[in-house]
Amino acid sequence: MTDAAEIINTVRGRNGTYLPKTIERNERLARGVLPKVMRVLSRVPFADDLLAAYYAARDPLTPVKAKAILFAAVAYFVMPADALPDVIVGLGFTDDATVLATALSVVGMYVKESHRKAARRVLRLPEPIKQAD
């Protein structure tokens, strides 16, 4: 999509800024991440990374292009239509993990420690043990 088309196809986001429609749609879909993660928590080994990506995407300091990638990855996890249905034991979340890992490899530098702490707090996970040098 060209920059001109993105400007034409914008909507006002929740915080008053203009976003491309695709980002707004994925942000709307991504809001379902918390209920789904809490439902399937025992089967999702990457839940903390997923929620950290969600918090990074919602952070006003995250650039729009990074938000687009992060919201798309989180929305893919939430969407019921999936390349591999999540109910398949052992394989169901592998495509979700691949999408998230790819997104984090591209824009992972925008997922800050504060986003990771918020994710661990929601999931009630302990803080990582710091290694002595």
- Residue 105 tokens read as 């490899």
pLDDT of residue 32: 79
Task: Say if 130 falls within a structural domain.
Answer: no
- In this structure, which long-range contacts are made by residues 114-118, counting pairs with CB atoms below 8 Å and at least 24 apart in sequence? 114/55, 115/52, 115/53, 115/55, 115/56, 115/59, 116/48, 116/52, 118/51, 118/52, 118/55
Task: Say if 129 falls within a structural domain.
Answer: no
Task: Say if 132 falls within a structural domain.
Answer: no
3-state helix, strand and coil shares in percent for the chain, rounded to the nearest 5: 60, 5, 35
pLDDT along the chain (133 residues), means of 10: 52 62 80 79 84 95 94 87 58 84 96 95 85 69
Task: Say if 101 falls within a structural domain.
Answer: yes
pLDDT of residue 82: 62
pLDDT of residue 100: 94
Task: Say if 95 falls within a structural domain.
Answer: yes
Number of independent structural domains in the chain: 1
Contact indicator for 61, 49 with CB cutoff of 8 Å: no
Look up the domain containing 32 and give its range: 3-121
Task: Say if 64 falls within a structural domain.
Answer: yes
pLDDT of residue 87: 54
pLDDT of residue 1: 47
Q: What is the chain's Cα-based Rg? A: 16
